[in-house]
Amino acid sequence: MTTPQSGFSNILITLVVGITLVIGIGFIAINYLKEDGIPKEYRETPPPPAADTGTSDKCIVTGCSAHICAKESVITTCEFKPEYACYQNVRCELQSDGACAWTQTPELLSCIAQAQKSPPPPAQPTPKPKIPPPAPPQVVPPQTTQPPPTPPTPSSRSFTIEADDSGFYPTSVLTVPKGPEIILTFQVRSEGVYYGGLTFRAPLSPFPETSALPGESAAVSFTADKPFTISSYWPSSDVWKADLRIEVR
């Protein structure tokens, strides 16, 4: 039979054991998460070891041609010398006197001596920019003014005049142009004309004499430069019948 005192003891023992387990688990977890007092998630991962580049941690290779071994960067002119190539196979490191310098080896000294004996490469001349020759001036041909074309002159002008014993028709004054050939045709009427017809002439003029019978015609050509008069006559008796005035313009 369990007494009240024994039951209380069992409960107390159970509580102590439980608290001990909780404290133990917490202690293990803290030791796992911490290292040197810093939580694991906040710890920095150490960088990987640097590769061996032939220089010490305190010396660097500097200069435009990588020919200087110093503790800090040095700005130099970019003038290359043959001996600078000898430093590619030696170490830039801290010397016994505390200064940074190239480690002297027989190979380095021999390389520098050989390089200093060889003549420096000839300087390349700077090419001059090619300036194209100036373009020749454009010659503009002078503007020639063409005279206006002369209107064509008719080679000939034709006129027809009817005639009888009483006069000339449709006009007794005929105006002709000066210069071109004039072709003048006389048409003698069938009625009102002597049976022998009519003769047409103009003395002291370029007009040639011509004749025509009733109902017939006669054509003459001439060139006029001044006015004159053509007269009609009976051919057989030479009786004057009428005048035709020729005006020239």
Q: Is there a single domain that holds both residue 167 and residue 215?
A: yes
Identity at 54, one-letter amino acid code: G
Residue 227's pLDDT is 95
Query: Does residue 85 lie within any of the structural domains?
Result: yes
Residue 139's pLDDT is 76
Query: Does residue 41 lie within any of the structural domains?
Result: no
Residue 246's pLDDT is 96
Domain holding 92, by residue range, is: 60-117
Q: Is there a single domain that holds both residue 240 and residue 169?
A: yes
Q: Is there a single domain that holds both residue 84 and residue 163?
A: no
The whole-model pTM stands at 0.40
Query: Does residue 8 lie within any of the structural domains?
Result: no
User: Residue 134 and residue 142: Cα distance in Å, rounded?
Assistant: 23
Q: Is there a single domain that holds both residue 160 and residue 244?
A: yes
Please say whether the dihedral angle defined by the alpha carbons of residues 92, 93, 98 and 102, taken in this order, is positive or negative. negative
Q: Tokens 């409960």 identify what position?
A: 11
Helix segments in the chain, DSSP class H: 4-33, 106-117
Domain count within the chain: 2
Query: Does residue 243 lie within any of the structural domains?
Result: yes
Query: Does residue 192 lie within any of the structural domains?
Result: yes
Block mean pLDDT (10 aa), the chain, length 249 = 62 75 69 53 50 60 85 82 83 87 86 78 67 80 72 80 97 94 96 95 92 96 94 94 96
Query: Does residue 36 lie within any of the structural domains?
Result: no
Q: Is there a single domain that holds both residue 164 and residue 96?
A: no
Q: 79, 50, 84: which is closest to 69 by C-alpha?
A: 84
Q: Is there a single domain that holds both residue 99 and residue 177?
A: no
Q: Is there a single domain that holds both residue 77 and residue 161?
A: no
CATH of the domain at 175: 2.60.40.420
* Contacts within 8 Å (CB) and 24+ apart, 115-120: 115/81, 115/82, 115/83, 115/85, 115/86, 116/82, 116/83, 118/82, 120/81, 120/82
Q: Is there a single domain that holds both residue 172 and residue 226?
A: yes
Query: Does residue 239 lie within any of the structural domains?
Result: yes
Query: Does residue 10 lie within any of the structural domains?
Result: no
